[in-house]
Structure 1
C-alpha cells in the first residue's frame, strides 16, 4: 500500500490507493473478458465444449496476476518512460527494456502455473496440463500481453505527464504569487521608509523657521506658523497609511505648507496654480510636492527680497501626468546644481522609482533667463502599480 501511495505521489495522479486498485481492476477486466470470450469460442469450435472449471480457474489466475503486477508495471513506466520525441536509438532502447520486462512476467506466470497451479489442479480434478501446452500458451499469448502492457505503459506515461505538468504549473504559479506578494510588500515598505524620512525632514525645517522667528522676537508669526503646522500635521496623519492620494488632496497639503512659508515671506511671496481639472483625481505619492516646493524656497526665492513667485501646474500628456513647480529664483548662475538638492529631492526620485519604475521621471531644469522648473512625470492613473498589486494580492491575505 505504501508503494502504491508513493507511486501515485510521484505521478501526481489525484487517486487514493483504493481508487487505484479499482481502476486497475477495470483495465485488466476488459482484456480478461475479451480473452475469456476468445477461449470459449475456440473450445466450442474445436471440441464443441465450453471451458472446464479448472481452465476457468487458470484464466482467473492470469487476470489476478496482471492486476497485482500493475504497480510494478507503472513503476517501470516511470523509470523507463516512452517518449516518442526522443532520439530513435533511445526510443528503441526503452521499448526493448519493456520487452524484457513483459517477457520476464510471461515466463514467471507460466512457470508458476507449471510448478504450482498444475500440481494443485491434478490433485483437485485429476488432470494436469502438459509442459508443451504451457510453452504453446506462452508464445500464443505473448503478443496480446505485450500489447496490453505497452498500452498501459504509454497511457500511464501520458496521463502522468499531464498531471505532473499541471502540478508544476500550479507550483510555478504559487511561487510567482509569493514573489509578487514579497515584491509588493517590499515596495510598500520602501515607500513607507522613504516617507518616514521625508516627514521629519520638512518638519525639522519648519521648526527651524519657527525658532528663527522666536529669536527675532516675532512671537505672533511664530505662533501662527505653529498653528498652521499643526493643521498640516493633522492632515498628514489622516492619510498616514496611504502611500498614494488624489492630486487634489496632495494640493491641499501643499497649500498648507505654503501657508506656513507665506507667514515668513508675507507680501514677498505669490503662489499661482494652473491645475487641469482632469488631473485632480489622479493618484500621486503622498507629500510628493512638498519637497519640490521646499526646494524652491531653500535654493531659490529665499534670497529674493520682493516679487517671489511659485507656480504649480498639472496637465495630462498622452498617458502621463505632468506636474511642474516653477519659481523665479536666482537661477543657474548662483543656484546649486541638482546633484546637491538634498534629502527631499533624492527621496522624491527614489519614491518615483519605487512606485513607477522607469516610467517615473523627475526633471530639474534652470532656464538661462533665471528661475527653476522641477517637473514630475508618471502614468496618469487613479490606481498606481503598487496599489494594483496590493489589490490583486488582497484576497490571498484573507
Structure 2
C-alpha cells in the first residue's frame, strides 16, 4: 500500500502518523463522553467504560491500512473527468464505514459485553449499542472521509512533485546527451577534415619527389609539420580566435605557394575587430582548399586568393575569394564535396541558424565563399568559447 501511494514512509512512521491521527479524535471523543456522563448521570466514566472507549480507538487505528487501501483503489477526486461522478466513490466509502461501525458494535456485544459482565457484573443492553451506532455514525464517517481525502491529496501532491523532479532530471539528462552528441559530431567532422588536407598535401609532396624537386618537397614537409603541430596545440578546442585560425590558413597557403610558386598571390584584408572572434578550428582551410583545387589549379599565372573579414552590428563575415574560372569550370560542382559539405555541417552543428555559408560564382568568373556569424563577441571572451550572443 505504501509503495502504491508513493509516500516516502517506513512502516513504523506509517503506524505512528496514523496513531496520531486517530489519537486526536479519540481524545476529543473521550472529553465528550466525560461531559455526557457528568451531565446525564452526575458521575465520571468508570474504568470498564474507559476500556470500551480505548478498544474503539485501537479498532479504528488498526483499520487504517484498509481505509487507505480503499482510498487508493477508489479515490475521492473532486475534479470530475470523463463524465465520472463523485457520488459513486462516496457511496463506496460510505458502505465501508457502515460495515466497520456494524462490525465494532457486534464485536462489543458478543465479546466485550460478556467480558464486562464477568468483570463488573453488568451488561450493556442492545438498545445502548444501537443508540451508540447511530450517534457515532456521522462522526466516524467524517473522520473516515477526512482521512481518505487527505491521504489522496497528500499522495497526489507527492507523486506530482516526484514526476516533476523526474521530468526535470530527464530534461537535464537529455540536454546533456544533446550537448555530448553535438560535440561528438563536431569532433567527428573535424577529424574528417584533418586527414583530408593531409592526404592532399602528401600527394603534392609525392608529385614533387617524382619530379626530383627534393628541395621543394623538403620545404613542403617542414611547413606541413609546423601546420600539424599548430593543429595539435588546439586539438581539444572546438573554437579558436580568428587570428589563430588565420595562422593555420597561412601555413596551409604557404604549402600551396611552394607548389604554385609565383603563380599564386595571397591577399589578407582582416578587420582588427574580428581577430578575437571565436570560430570553429579549421573552418577556413577546406574553403581555401576548394579555391585552389577547383578554382586556380589550372591557372598558369596571376592566380589570386583573397581572405577578407568584416565585423558589423549584425555579426562577422569572413570571405574567401579566388579569381579562377568559377561557373565556367567543369570541376566546380565537384568542389562541393567533402570539404564544403563538412564546413556547412560544422556550422549547423555549432551554431544552428546563427551561422550560414554563402557560395557565389559571378558570371564574369571567380568564386567567393562567405561565412556569416550572427551576434557579437563579448568582452572577456577567449578563444575557447563562442561569441556572447551566438
Fold equivalence (TM over 0.5): yes
Give the CA deviation at 1:317: 4.6
Equivalence for 1:395: none
Determine the C-alpha separation between the residues in 2 that align with 1:95 and 1:101: 10
Partner of 2:301: 306
Tell me how far apart the structure 2 counterparts of residues 155 and 282 of structure 1 sit (CA, whole Å). 60
Q: State whether structure 2 residue 42 is matched by structure 1 residue 42.
A: no
Describe the shift of the 1:281–1:380 C-alpha distance in structure 2 as closer, same or farther (beyond 3 A): farther
1:84 alignment partner, SS class? coil
* In structure 2, C-alpha distance between the alignment counterparts of 1:265 and 1:339, rounded to whole Å: 22
**Of the candidates 40, 58, 83, which is equivalent to residue 77 of structure 2?**
83
Deviations, residues 162-182 of structure 1 (Å, cap 9, x unaligned):
110111112112222222222
Equivalent position of 1:57 in the other structure = 51
CA distance in 2, matches of 1:224, 1:254: 17
What secondary structure is seen at the aligned counterpart in 2 of 1:220?
helix
**Could you say which residue in structure 2 is the equivalent of 1:331?**
326
* Structure 2 stretches lacking a partner, 5+ long: none
Q: Deviations over 1:115-140 (max 9, x none)?
A: 22111121222222112211111111
Cα gap change, 1:170 to 1:270, in 2 (>3 Å) = same
Inter-partner Cα distance in structure 1 for 2:44 and 2:12: 35
Is the contact between residue 283 and residue 380 of structure 1 (CA under 8 Å) also seen in structure 2?
A: no
CA distance in 1, matches of 2:12, 2:64: 13
TM-score, normalised on structure 1? 0.90
Q: Residue deviations 1:335-386, cap 9 Å, x none?
A: 54446422111111222222223434222111122211112224447689x9
Matches within 5 A, 1:274-289: 274-289=269-284
**Distance in 2 of aligned mates of 1:17 and 1:275:** 73
Out of 154-163 and 19-28, give the one that drifted further: 19-28
Query: C-alpha distance in 1, partners of 2:111/2:272?
Result: 95
Partner residue in 2 for 1:3: none
Of residues 231-240 and 11-20 in structure 1, the stretch that sits farther from structure 2 once superposed is: 11-20
Give the alignment of 1:146-295 within 5 angstroms.
146-295=141-290
2:356 corresponds, among 361, 368, 385, to: 361
CA contact (8 A) 2:313 2:376 kept: no
Q: Mark the CA change 1:132 to 1:89 in structure 2 (over 3 Å): closer, same or farther.
A: farther
| Cα separation, 1, equivalents of 2:265 and 2:110 | 111
CA contact (8 A) 1:275 1:314 kept: yes
Residue 253 of structure 1 and its aligned partner are, at CA, apart by 1.0
For structure 1, which runs of at least 5 residues remain unmatched after alignment? 1-6, 389-398
C-alpha distance in 2, partners of 1:161/1:234? 61
TM-score (norm: length of structure 2): 0.91
Q: 1:109 aligns with which of 100, 104, 121?
A: 104
Q: Note the C-alpha offset of 1:15.
A: 2.3
What is the distance in 1 between the residues matched to 2:322 and 2:250?
15
Task: Give the conservation status (yes or no) of the 8 Å contact 2:75–2:89.
Answer: yes
Give the RMSD, CA atoms, in angstroms: 2.2
The range that moved more, 226-235 or 312-321, is 312-321
Contact 1:275–1:313, Cα closer than 8 Å, also in 2: yes
Residue 43 of structure 1 and its aligned partner are, at CA, apart by 0.8
Distance 1:132 1:318 in 2: 94
Cα displacement (A) at 1:12: 2.4
Partner of 1:32: 26
Offset, 1:70: 1.3
Deviation (angstroms), 1:282: 2.8
Alpha-carbon distance in structure 2 between the residues aligned to 1:41 and 1:277 = 94
Q: Indicate the residue corresponding to 1:125 in structure 2.
A: 120
The answer to which structure has the higher helix fraction is 1
Find the residue that maps to 1:369 and give its secondary structure. Answer: coil
User: 2:263 touches 2:300 (CA, 8 Å); kept in 1?
Assistant: yes
Greater shift, 10-19 or 43-52, is seen at 10-19
Structure 2 residue 68 is the aligned partner of structure 1 residue 74: yes
**Is the 8 Å Cα contact of residues 290 and 335 (structure 2) preserved in structure 1?**
no
Select the residue among 3, 7, 13 that pairs with 1:9: 3
* Aligned residue pairs, count: 381
